[in-house]
A and B are shown apart, each in its own frame.
Chain A
Amino acid sequence: GAVVSQHPSRVICKSGTSVKIECRSLDFQATTMFWYRQFPKKSLMLMATSNEGSKATYEQGVEKDKFLINHASLTLSTLTVTSAHPEDSSFYICSASEVVAYNSPLHFGNGTRLTVT
């Protein structure tokens, strides 16, 4: 089945530094990938839709200059948390689908636990 690999699984960084999270589709091409943020005991919040070869589409309230998304190829999207602060600590999950079809399920990475100290 389709596999999405997300790296790293855990990262601890100091306040003010930047962190890059990678999301790869291992055995399929993903024109579109999605980045979610999950707070403790909360549902998933869609942060942005990442489109290969074009700018990401950010959801309302998500700072695009803080959460930089790059989708340079059909198998890789990256999320960079710039100038991280403790309130950015969260669980970040990426997802992708094999085809841009409304009835295709999304495949999720295993998530990245970010802790900003």
Chain B
Amino acid sequence: AQSVAQPEDQVNVAEGNPLTVKCTYSVSGNPYLFWYVQYPNRGLQFLLKYITGDNLVKGSYGFEAEFNKSQTSFHLKKPSALVSDSALYFCAVRDNDNAGNMLTFGGGTRLMVKP
């Protein structure tokens, strides 16, 4: 069974500082990893994904994530946080050996960026 853990319910960052939102995963095969962002009362928006290739993946709005196979992690990062980045962030994994198309989501991390 595949699973995703986001150990922090909330991350607080001052505007302009770097931010990291943590994610670890567990799959039996090779993982496809995704980050999504959710603004209040909205659906999820796709930020970035890791499929194969470079471990550092760049996505929307200046976000990036680093795939670390040995640590089974896929932490989301941004060099300089904006107040508008405040939202709920979800990490998700799909096992590439999975016959279905199912994503498993982490519990979500609320990012609060203060001016």
Is B105 an interface position by the 8 A CB rule? Answer: yes
CB distance from A115 to the nearest CB of B (A): 12
Tally chain B residues at the interface, Cβ within 8 Å. 24
Is A75 an interface position by the 8 A CB rule? Answer: no
CB distance from B112 to the nearest CB of A (A): 14
Check B46–A107 contact: CB distance below 8 A.
yes
Check A4–B108 contact: CB distance below 8 A.
no
Which B residue's beta carbon lies closest to that of A38?
A: B38
User: Chain A contacts of B98 at CB under 8 A?
Assistant: 102
Contact with A along B75-115 (1 / 0, CB 8 A): 00000000000000010001110101111011110000000
Check A93–B44 contact: CB distance below 8 A.
yes
Tally chain A residues at the interface, Cβ within 8 Å. 27
Given contacts A102-B101, A108-B44, 18 further A-B contacts (CB under 8 A): A6-B43, A34-B102, A43-B90, A43-B106, A43-B107, A44-B44, A46-B103, A91-B41, A93-B43, A93-B44, A97-B101, A101-B101, A102-B32, A102-B98, A106-B44, A110-B41, A110-B42, A110-B43
Binding site for A on B (CB under 8 A): 32, 34, 36, 41-46, 49, 51, 90, 94-96, 98, 100-103, 105-108
Binding site for B on A (CB under 8 A): 4, 6, 9, 32, 34, 42-44, 46, 49, 91, 93-95, 97, 100-103, 105-111, 113
**List of 10 A-B pairs having minimum Cβ-Cβ separation, nearest first:** A108-B43, A105-B46, A108-B44, A103-B51, A43-B107, A110-B43, A111-B43, A44-B105, A109-B43, A43-B108
